[in-house]
Structure 1
Amino acid sequence: MQVNWREIPAARNSYAVLSAACAAGGWNLQPVEKPEADVTCYSLTSISVRRYRDEIAGAGCITIAGGPHATACWHEVAEYTDYVVVGEGEYTLPALLADLEAGGSCRIPGVATREGYEPVKSSVRLDAYPAFSEVKGYVEISRGCPFACGYCQTPQIFGHCMRHRSIDEIAKYANRYGQARFVSPNAFAYGSDGIHPRFDKIERLLQKIKKEIFFGTFPSEVRPEFVCEKSLALISEYCTNTKLHFGAQSGSDAVLKRLRRGHTVDDAIAAAELCAVAGITPVIDFIVGFPFETDEDQEATITVIKDLSRIGKIHVHRFIPLPGTDLTGTCARPLLPATEKICGDLAFGGKLTGSWNDPEIRFFKSRSQ
């Protein structure tokens, strides 16, 4: 049975992870540019699904869909694909493929169909699966997040308890290439519960890696309250990157509180200032257009953006109501003319990037490292 992987730009790292997991079970995920026999697998976001839904529905082969959109909306996705992998796929996808080849019922926990769905009863242990194999990917060092930000799918998919790959396993894969890059919801939370940092464990990890290290850059951003003299000293001593990427998300404390972000505007400003003192350029994420955002909230955000653009780089994107989050079903509010003008002016001056008008840019264009 030939198993194919539909190439989608936003799913490159998922391909590396699942290709490695399937290879361990004897399955080679062949990259394809259209659905092909016998089986074609898709990883879907809530943006990319618009491009691939009709293709999946009309495919002349068995189709399997996973990813954040399929996990959040499995009822919907099951209407046009044969099988939906809900949540983590390292165990579930190879198990489904084996059952398909054996002619089984495919009633596997974690696999949804039009007939229904039985959830998995456990989470993936990262050390049980390779970070990548023949298909190179970033090394995923942690999963899960103890926070419950209203716009974010991460804790809905991976849970609120952080899980970490061991230092030896991370180093084994990171040392295979000239540059070591990572995936984490918060790189500075490695080895911890996600709330109380363990910088001693991060230092042991960085000491173990013998290649150029990029830590705290996309896709392993950090949280602003984890930025301190100790964490920045680790970047300066062990890492190649001269930028640090973190999410401020709003310049309004009222918005941050409603989102349950767990930090304040002052935390984000302090983090940027500490980066500047340490000679590290902060790259700071903001989201504009939250549905409950007042004019005053948006004006406060744009004021902070202007201030921080003097010492760092700003990345702005328009709010997207992702399924499975608290803000599912809401709509982004219009941007104030001043917001659009200031973002445009800063972008023209090379101080700001992002997709404050077109959300698809967030998923289909690369970001500054």
Structure 2
Amino acid sequence: MNVNWRSISWAKNSFAALSAACERFGITLNEVDSPECDITCYSLNSVNEPHFREEISNAECITIVGGPHPSACWKEVSRYADYVVIGEGEYTLPALIRMIEEGSSSLPAGVATKDHALMPDTCVFLPAYPPFTTVRGYIEITRGCPFGCGYCQTPRLFGRHMRHRRIDDIERASRVYRDVRFVTPNALAYGSDGIHLRLDKVEALLRALTGRRIYFGTFPSEVRPECVSHESLDLIERYCANRKVHFGAQSGSNRVLQMLRRGHSAEDVMRAYDLCREHGIIPIVDYIVGLPGESDEEQRQSVKQMKEIIRYGIVHVHHFTPLPGTPLAGMSARSVLADVQRDLGRMAKSGKATGSWIDAEVRFFRDDEDQLP
């Protein structure tokens, strides 16, 4: 039985991880540009899902669909897909493929159809699976996040308990690369519970990778602003090739940050900015504009903070997109004020702002940030 993986640029790392997991069970995922027999697998988010709905519905093969959107909206997706993988796929996808091959009707946990659904009953033990094998991707070092940011799917998909890959497994995976990049919700939280940092474990990881060009705390392994300190920046300076650090502010308003359940303040953002300047490291700071519940003045407050940031750093700005399964799901984005658009346009023209504050879909369809090292 042929098992195929639908090529989607946004899902390259999912392809790498799930291909490695399937290989452990003797299953090869063949990358294809359209659905092919016998089985075609998809990984979708909430922005690209509408673009593939018709293709999946009309596919003349068995379709398996997973990813953030199907995990949150499995009832909706199961109306047009044969099977929906809910949550993590390393165990579930190979088990489902074997079930189909054997002609069984006994669904594994974490799978839904239009008639039945079994919720996931376990979480993935990362050391049991390599981050990739023949299909290369970034090295995922941590999964899960203890914070419950209102707009974010990560803790809803992977839980609020951080799970870490072992250093020797990370080092082994890194041998195929000269430049090493990581996937993690917070690079500086490696080895910790995500709240109480263990920089000794971060240093042990970085030391184990000596001899390679390490990119840590920058895309796609951003950090949280309250984790930026003299000690953490010293580690990046000592072991890493990047001279930029990427962290999330999301808003310049403390009231909005509390509403978002961010767990840090606007002052923490500026403290992280100041520390980066002291260390000669360029801060790249994320913001979301058009948040529900954000007042005009608070939107301008974010821009005011951005103007401080771009004196030395860069801002990365996106328009709010409500994601299913999050506390802000179903809430409408506010429009971006005309003067805010003008200010952001000027920042972009000067090379100090990137992102998509007009068209929310841009970040999910561009390939420039999604290239493998």
Distance of 1:117 and 1:276 partners within structure 2: 52
Tell me, in whole angstroms, the C-alpha distance in 1 between the residues paired with 2:114 and 2:106. Answer: 12
Report what 2:143 is aligned to.
143
Asked if the contact 1:100–1:106 (Cα under 8 Å) also holds between the matched residues in 2, the reply is no
What is aligned with 2:193? 193
Residue 25 of structure 1: aligned partner: 25
Partner of 1:349: 350
Counterparts of 1:327 and 1:116 in 2: how far apart (Å)?
28
Which structure 2 residues correspond to residues 27-176 of structure 1 after superposition, within 5 A?
27-176=27-176
String of CA shifts for 1:133-190, please: whole Å, max 9, x gaps. 0111001000111110000000000001110001111111012211111000000000
* 1:297 matched residue in structure 2: 298
User: Residues of 2 paired with 1:37 and 1:85: CA distance?
Assistant: 19
Q: Distance in 2 between the 1:358 and 1:226 partners? A: 31
The structural deviation recorded for 1:106 is 4.1
Take 1:285 and 1:367, find their aligned partners in 2: how far apart are those partners?
Answer: 14
Return structure 1 stretches of 4+ with deviation > 6 angstroms.
none
Q: Residue 219 of structure 2 aligns with which residue?
A: 218
Q: SS state of the match for residue 47, structure 1?
A: coil
Do the aligned partners of residues 107 and 29 (structure 1) sit closer, same or farther apart at CA in structure 2, a change above 3 Å counting?
same
For the residues of structure 2 that align with 1:131 and 1:138, how far apart are their CA atoms? 8
Contact residue 10 and residue 370 of structure 2 kept, 8 A: no
Aligned residue type for 2:250 = Q
> Given residue 143 of structure 1, which amino acid in structure 2 is its aligned partner?
R
- Cα RMSD over matched residues? 1.0
TM-score between the two structures when normalised by the length of structure 1? 0.99
Structure 2 distance, partners of 1:367, 1:339, is: 25
Alignment of 1:271-350 (within 5 A): 271-350=272-351
* Contact 2:82-2:113 at 8 Å conserved across structures: yes
- The aligned amino acid for 1:246 is F
**Residue 108 of structure 1, CA deviation:** 1.1
Letter in 2 for 1:45: N
CA apart distance, 1:335? 1.0
Q: Distance in 2 between matches of 1:316 and 1:43?
A: 25
SS in 2 for 1:173: helix
| Matched position secondary structure for 2:130 | coil
User: Partner residue of 2:259?
Assistant: 258
**Is the CA contact (8 Å cut-off) linking 1:151 and 1:327 kept in structure 2?**
yes
Once the two structures are superposed, residues 100-157 of structure 1 have per-residue CA deviations (whole angstroms, 9 ceiling, x without a partner) of 1011114111011111211122110000001100111001000111110000000000
CA contact (8 A) 1:273 1:311 kept: no
Q: Distance in 1 between matches of 2:320 and 2:369?
A: 17
1:36 is matched by which residue type in structure 2? E
Counterpart in the other structure of 1:15 = 15
In the other structure, the counterpart of 1:235 is: 236
SS at match of 1:40: strand
Alpha-carbon separation, structure 2, partners of 1:345 and 1:14 = 36
Give me the whole-angstrom Cα distance separating, in 2, the residues matched to 1:275 and 1:268: 11
Counterpart-to-counterpart distance in 1, 2:347 and 2:92: 45
Please state whether the residue corresponding to 1:157 is helix, strand or coil: helix
Conservation of the 8 A alpha-carbon contact between 1:242 and 1:281: yes
Q: Which residue of 1 aligns with 2:269?
A: 268
- How big is the shift at 1:363? 1.1
Aligned length: 369
Name the % identity: 55
What is the deviation of 1:368?
A: 9.7
TM-score normalised by L of structure 2: 0.98
Q: Kindly indicate whether the alpha-carbon contact (under 8 Å) linking 2:99 and 2:105 is maintained by their aligned counterparts in 1.
A: yes
Distance in 1 (CA, whole Å) between partners of 2:181 and 2:27 is 26
How far off its partner does 1:219 sit? Answer: 1.2
8 Å CA contact 1:96, 1:106 repeated in 2: no
**Paired residues of 2:35 and 2:59 also in contact (CA < 8 A):** yes
Contact 1:146/1:193, CA 8 A, preserved across alignment: yes
